[in-house]
Amino acid sequence: MKTIEIDDDLYHYIASQTQQIGESASEILRRLLLPQQNTVIPAPSETVNLAASVPLAQDQKVFDILSKQDLQAELSVVGRFLIILSALARAHKTQFAKVLDIKGRNRVYFGRKEADLLEAGSSTNPKPIPNSEFWVITNSNTTRKKMMLTEAALKLGYSQEEAELIRDFL
């Protein structure tokens, strides 16, 4: 097996094309690029679990598809932060707008568009939450990101213990 380096945006695109839990990046690319050869897929020696990109049923919790092992492939804190938020947004599609209420003393953390966050402060470095209509600021420190994840989980109905587990995914 060969190793290649790809940009983050390409990685997130490949991850968004996942059709089943545990599907490796090679399987996704093979399906997308070589559809006529898709009938037999050799088992790769090492797979990357891209389960964070699989759509969830409304009554599932983020733990049903997301684990620390799923996030190990993402080396950056911001990347893991976005993957966790994306999983929460998909698990709670109808309720995820509740995160818009999470704010700092002088800052807005979540918005429906980039402009909402740019207006709320300088150097916010807003990024879209993958597979959702929401944006989040990303220039805060890791402790603040953990607090944002904890508050988001609590607003979405998770217990304090579950919210702390979600926070610890970061």
Amino acid, res. 40: V
Q: What is the DSSP string of 67-116?
A: -HHHHTT--SHHHHHHHHHHHHHHHTTTTGGGGGG-B-SS-B-EESSHHH
Q: Which residues 6+ apart lie within 8 Å of 125 measured at CB?
A: 137, 138, 139
Predicted TM-score (pTM) of this structure: 0.65
Whether residue 21 has pLDDT greater than 60: yes
| 101 against 105, higher pLDDT | 101
pLDDT band at 37 (very low <50, low <70, confident <90, very high): low
Q: What is the mean pLDDT of the chain?
A: 81
How many CB atoms neighbour CB 100 within 10 A?
15
Cα–Cα nearest to 122, from 110, 135, 108:
108
Q: Is the dihedral of CA 13, 16, 20, 22 positive or negative?
A: positive
Tokens of 60: 């599932």
Whether residue 9 has pLDDT greater than 80: no
pLDDT in tens, 88-98: 998 999 999 99
The CA-based dihedral angle spanning residues 13, 18, 131, 8, taken in that order and rounded to the nearest 10 degrees: -30
Contact 24, 128 (CB under 8 A): no
- Beta strands at 110-111 and 126-128: parallel, antiparallel or unpaired: unpaired
Whether residue 46 has pLDDT greater than 90: no
The CA distance from 170 to 167, in Å, is: 6
Overall average pLDDT of the 1-14 stretch: 77
Overall average pLDDT of the 107-135 stretch: 90
Whether residue 56 has pLDDT greater than 50: no
